């Protein structure tokens, strides 16, 4: 074996032989690019869909699950966030003509398609299913998280696996590795050893410089990562995001310390304790400003908050609003989400961790953030519930902050800029590799041949 053959042997991944189906045999409701992706995912058997919000991941996962069910003649399970289960079963599945059973109180399983939320998995015999879909699979992001470990163990022997989530951040490569681990492609530890180096200075892993192309070539062999159908060579004239108008409403906050505990002026720190203390101090005036925005017209509004105090104050100043919090029963959460989607509720108040992932609220085009946290992901996902492909109106986004909380907005904006720059700076060859791989074309590499005169003593 020469050195080039040795390198090639290191690139080999576990091959899977799944379901080979013709595009014309897939549901006609799907767009052409969606059919192509489903065909690829079925053939690979274990696959990831990393797609931008509004690209139709739910329809694709439903078609994938339906075809696996037909091929194996065994039930297939979809696991999703709580609010998304009803949306998938009662809104999305009927578009394809499919029946999806919700596993909530009755856990008897026969055949067909089933859906449940992540909190119910311990009540289900996962060995009965021939296939599993993880909707909003970014839940696998936490490397040492209990949920990630539990999911990996529960579906270790499941034959067909599909993960679906929004495109991961370019600097969050651990999320990619954990998906590969769940699918059974390679363990996270093995991938780290192959493509990464432990950076002692920062205490994190980073890609080896010479392994960058190989890493993304490897990722393209078990996933598709796209922001637009054009990334796969398909027409995307119908995938145009509407105009987004972002308004930062900054309220002047008095920094005089009435207690003189820290002198004449309050000390506005950035620690967790200072952060929560300042949010509580400004909560009332922020809630009043949010109510003022809502009352200026009769449009629908989606208001995001982070604490129960903010939620209580918002409900106080907007009495007719519907507020949903974590302690509410699942049935109430689902019904409130459905009422808002159908236009029965004008103002919905909730938190990103409840409705911020997977929900489709694009009939509404006004969103208000009653404050922010340091999490750019929570902000981005919450905004994308309405600012997504399929939105037909200009979207208005309001961020309401106290002047003493501007450092939070600055932090989120820096992360936003970093995300944008990293996306743009990614080697364009990655898209080329993905396109060639998706079309099952070989990616050829040219290796220079050079004659070397060896010393006489060798």
Q: Is residue 455 a part of any domain in this protein?
A: no
Beta-bridged to residue 133, according to DSSP, are 78, 162
Last residue within a domain, chosen from 236, 253, 285: 236
Q: State whether 212 and 272 are in the same domain.
A: no
Are 271 and 180 found together in one domain? no
Note whether residue 102 is domain-resident: yes
Q: In sequence order, what are the residues at sequence separation of 6 or more whose Cβ sits closer than 8 angstroms to the Cβ of residue 437?
A: 217, 220, 221, 443
Lowest pLDDT segment from 111-115, 187-191, 317-321 = 187-191
Pair 33, 175 in one domain = yes
User: Which region among 46-50, 112-116, 175-179, 286-290 has the lowest average model confidence (pLDDT)?
Assistant: 175-179
Could you tell me if 127 and 178 lie in one domain?
yes
Residues 309 and 253 in one domain: yes
Q: Do the domain assignments include residue 420?
A: no
State pLDDT tens for residues 388-424.
888 999 999 999 999 999 989 998 998 888 777 766 6
Task: Report the range of poorest mean pLDDT among 41-55, 187-201, 301-315.
Answer: 187-201
Is residue 13 located within the same domain as residue 109? yes
Tell me: do 140 and 257 sit in the same domain: no
- Mark which of 236, 266, 296 sits at the end of a domain: 236
In this predicted structure, the answer to whether residue 65 has a pLDDT above a threshold of 90 is yes
Q: Tell me which of 8-17, 20-29, 176-185, 352-361 is least confident.
A: 8-17
User: Is the same domain home to 147 and 257?
Assistant: no
The predicted pLDDT at position 131 comes to: 97
Residue 445: per-residue pLDDT: 45
- pLDDT tens digit sequence for 208-247: 877 777 888 888 889 998 888 888 888 877 788 899 999 9
206, 199 in Cβ contact below 8 A?
Answer: yes
Residue 439 covered by a domain: no
User: What would the pLDDT profile of 239-261 be if each residue is shown by its tens digit?
Assistant: 888 999 999 999 998 876 555 45
Do 260 and 232 sit in the same domain of this protein?
A: no
Provide the CATH number for the domain around residue 399. Answer: 3.40.50.300
Q: Does residue 82 form part of some domain? A: yes
The residue among 187, 216, 236 that closes a domain is 236
Q: Total structural domains in the chain? A: 2
Mean pLDDT along residues 275-287:
91
Residue 265 domain-assigned? yes
Residue 93: CATH number of its domain: 3.40.50.10810
User: Is the pLDDT assigned to residue 447 strictly greater than 80?
Assistant: no
pLDDT for the residue numbered 220: 87
pTM: 0.83
d(Cα 148, Cα 154) in Å, to the nearest integer?
10
Residues 129 and 77 sit within 8 Å (Cβ to Cβ): yes
Predicted pLDDT of residue 263: 46
pLDDT by residue (tens digit) across 305-346? 999 999 999 999 999 999 999 999 988 998 999 999 999 999
* Pair (151, 231) in one structural domain: yes
CB 89 within 8 A of CB 117: no
**351 token code pair:** 């938190």
Q: Identify whether 258 is part of a domain.
A: yes
436: in domain = no
Write out the residue range of the structural domain in which residue 249 sits. Answer: 244-412
Q: Quick one: 28 and 171 in the same domain?
A: yes
Tell me, yes or no, whether 178 and 158 share the same domain.
yes
């Amino acid at each position: 074996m020469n050195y080039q053959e040795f390198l090639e042997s290191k690139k080999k991944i576990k091959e899977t032989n799944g379901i080979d189906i013709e595009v014309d045999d897939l549901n006609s409701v799907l767009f052409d690019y969606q059919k192509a992706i489903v065909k690829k995912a079925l053939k690979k058997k274990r696959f990831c869909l990393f797609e931008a919000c509004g690209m139709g991941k739910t329809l694709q996962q439903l078609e994938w699950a339906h075809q696996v069910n037909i091929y194996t003649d065994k039930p297939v399970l979809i696991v999703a966030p709580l609010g998304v289960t009803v949306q998938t079963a009662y809104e999305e599945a009927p578009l394809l003509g499919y029946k999806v059973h919700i596993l909530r109180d009755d856990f008897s399983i026969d055949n067909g398609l089933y859906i449940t939320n992540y909190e119910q998995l311990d009540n289900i015999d996962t060995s009965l299913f021939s296939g599993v879909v993880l909707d909003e699979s970014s839940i696998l992001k936490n490397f040492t998280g209990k949920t990630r470990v539990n999911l990996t163990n529960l579906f270790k022997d499941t034959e067909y696996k599909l993960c679906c989530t929004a495109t991961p951040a370019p600097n969050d490569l651990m999320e990619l590795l954990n998906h590969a681990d769940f699918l059974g492609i390679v363990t996270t530890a093995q991938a780290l050893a192959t493509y990464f180096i432990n950076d002692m200075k920062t205490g994190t892993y980073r890609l080896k410089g010479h392994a960058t192309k190989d890493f993304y070539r490897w990722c393209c062999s078990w996933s598709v990562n796209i922001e637009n159908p054009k990334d796969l060579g398909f027409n995307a004239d119908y995938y145009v995001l509407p105009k987004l108008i972002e308004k930062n409403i900054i309220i002047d906050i008095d920094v005089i310390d009435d207690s003189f505990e820290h002198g004449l002026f309050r000390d506005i720190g950035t620690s967790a304790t200072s952060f929560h203390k300042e949010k509580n101090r400004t909560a009332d005036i922020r809630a009043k400003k949010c109510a003022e925005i809502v009352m200026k017209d009769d449009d629908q509004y989606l208001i995001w908050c982070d604490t129960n105090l903010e939620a209580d104050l918002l409900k106080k100043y907007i009495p007719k609003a519907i507020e949903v919090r974590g302690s509410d029963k699942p049935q109430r959460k689902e019904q409130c989400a459905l009422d808002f989607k159908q236009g029965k509720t004008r103002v919905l108040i909730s938190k990103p961790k409840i409705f911020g992932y997977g929900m489709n609220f694009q009939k509404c085009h006004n969103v208000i953030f009653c404050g922010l946290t340091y999490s750019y992901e929570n902000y981005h996902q919450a905004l994308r519930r309405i600012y997504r492909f399929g939105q037909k109106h200009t979207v208005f986004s309001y961020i309401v902050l106290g002047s003493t909380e501007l450092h939070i907005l600055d932090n989120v904006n820096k992360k936003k800029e970093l995300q944008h720059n990293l996306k743009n700076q990614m080697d364009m060859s990655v898209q080329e590799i993905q396109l060639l791989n998706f079309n099952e074309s070989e990616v050829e590499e040219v290796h220079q041949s050079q004659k070397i005169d060896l010393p006489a003593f060798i």
